[in-house]
Amino acid sequence: MNALVMYDRETDTLWSQFLSRGVKGPLAGTPLEILPSMQTNWETWSELYPDTLVLDKNGRYFSDDYENYYRSGAAGAIGESNPDDRLSRKDVVIGLVQGESVKAYPFRALSVEKVANDYFAGRNLVVTFDPLSETGGVFDRMVDNRTLSFQTLPPVPGDDGVLQMKDRETGTTWDLLTGRAVSGQLAGTGLERLPSHYSFWFAWSDFHPGTELYGNPPN
């Protein structure tokens, strides 16, 4: 369904990145452990982690062969398998999978809210989003057996526009992208980042038909 598969050299099993499991070969059906990660641009990443080491690919980071595809309305090489008109096919979503439950958070909705307190699959979550860099994060908002609720704070002048949020329960200030408490009662605490998946809507709905959808994205 338009998604490349990986293979391992040891067994030649084919692995689906969307399903996170082997789909053909000796290890078919074996799940992969999903590690939380952050997808962002280099400017944002280097501000957060200035001592980062970078893999040198001989200048190949300065262009993207898929720019035209991103801007087009095409749904991959073979089209959609499960058309779902709740969103446009190339809308980007942050997808979550918790057991048998799946949910998609559209960039269009998150760009308005920036911080979305939610409850999904038995967990209290906060989904955060920086529209400028199109960077999102999903965190468990339980801290010390207490559920926190978050709201955005205006960017701090002279602080490179870094977005922050505040919890209503303690007034602690948190970094919106890393989930770190930077000042206040809970300073030094970090929210648990949960695995998530950036995807075009057509691809997410193909692999997860009937997915729950957050909010009512603006047209």
In sequence order, what are the beta bridge partners of 129? 136
Q: How far is CA 191 from the centre of its chain?
A: 15
Q: What is the pLDDT of residue 172?
A: 97
Pair (95, 112) in one structural domain = yes
105 has pLDDT over 70: yes
Considering only residues 130 and 58, tell me which one the structure prediction assigns the higher pLDDT. 130
Pull the structure tokens for residue 42.
């280099």
Q: What does the angle CA 145 – CA 105 – CA 211 come to, to the nearest 5 degrees?
A: 100
For the residues 152-158, what does the mean pLDDT come to?
Answer: 74
Pair (54, 5) in one structural domain = no
Q: What is the pLDDT of residue 67?
A: 85
160 has pLDDT over 80: no
Q: How far is CA 106 from the centre of its chain?
A: 10
Please give the DSSP secondary-structure letter assigned to residue 33. P
pLDDT in tens, 37-64: 999 998 999 988 999 998 877 766 677 7
Pair (203, 184) in one structural domain = yes
Please give the DSSP secondary-structure letter assigned to residue 56. -
| Measured CA distances, 5 to 17, 88, 151 (Å) | 6, 25, 39
pLDDT in tens, 168-217: 999 999 999 999 999 999 999 999 999 999 999 999 999 999 999 998 65
In a domain, 167, yes or no: yes
In a domain, 71, yes or no: no
In a domain, 108, yes or no: yes
In a domain, 190, yes or no: yes
- Give just the sign of the alpha carbon dihedral 176, 217, 40, 99: positive
- Smallest CA-to-CA distance from 131 within 147, 152, 149, 117 is with 152
Please give the residue range of the domain that contains residue 16. Answer: 1-33
Structural domain count, the chain: 2
Looking at every residue in the chain, the average pLDDT score rounds to 90
Pair (21, 119) in one structural domain = no
